[in-house]
Amino acid sequence: MAEPRFDNAELAAILERAAQLQAEAEVGDRTRSLARREGFSAGELRQIAAEAGIAPRFVDAAIARSGPAAEVVASGSMLGGPTRYRLAGTIPGDLDGERRAAQIAAIRRAAEHQGEVRETSVGVEWRSQGAPTQIAVNLSPRGGATAVEVVADLGGTALLTGLATFFPWLILTISIGAGLGLGVGYGLGVVAAGICGWLLTLSQVWRRLSRSRRAHLERILEAALAEGRTGGPQALSSGDDDER
């Protein structure tokens, strides 16, 4: 009986599935051999993952996502894209000063911005400074857990995006009207077409930019949650080692 034959697409799919099955089997064997009743610390998880070729930052991201799902609320709208975001999650346990400092450091790394930290009546707030998108991260105790809230106002970014896309269309509209020497009626038609072109361009640009800003905020929240769950000083030194 002749053996079955496979085309290129089937070959790629079969090899990918076989590699996935092998990886799952290896991870399962590794997990069973290391199983213990008291569980594992974040540092031990990173060490086990490193032996499997997984970078610490991906372990931290997986730890952050292992908790309750983060809440994401978008509000405000400009041509199909939100102008405000609120993201929230929780970390088991209260954060002491040392772990909180490590969490602020993780937020700064994820935001790629130093920002400003201040004590509030309900906890600690990190806030961006001098950026078009205003971001605030609030850490506050809540019933034996720590609530992490990321709030962003994209109004400044929206205004700059509108101006940046408006002027090219303005120049183009004036150039076309002057070059063709149109009358008032036709000139108004050119202006109307220019405005429609600008709004269409602005809508497309803003939707992409809004999605990009949301992804940035999710990385900030993820970093804050991961650092809070993994333990401050250990996570911080591990992240520094990974960067080196």
Q: Which of 10-19, 29-38, 47-56, 202-211 has the lowest mean pLDDT?
A: 29-38
DSSP 4: P
Structure tokens at 173: 């509209």
pLDDT at 18: 84
Tell me phi and psi for residue 208, to 5 degrees. Answer: -65, -45
pLDDT at position 187 over 70: no
pLDDT at position 223 over 50: yes
Across all residues in the chain, what is the average pLDDT?
79
For residue 74, the number of C-alpha atoms closer than 13 Å in the C-beta half-sphere is 15
Other beta carbons within 10 angstroms of residue 155's beta carbon come to 15
pLDDT at position 149 over 90: yes
Give the pLDDT mean for 182-201: 76
pLDDT at 174: 78
Q: Is the Cα dihedral 84, 90, 94, 95 positive or negative?
A: negative
pLDDT at 239: 39
Structure tokens at 62: 């997986």
Percent above pLDDT 70 for the chain: 77
- Would you call 230 helix, strand, or coil by DSSP? helix
pTM here is: 0.64
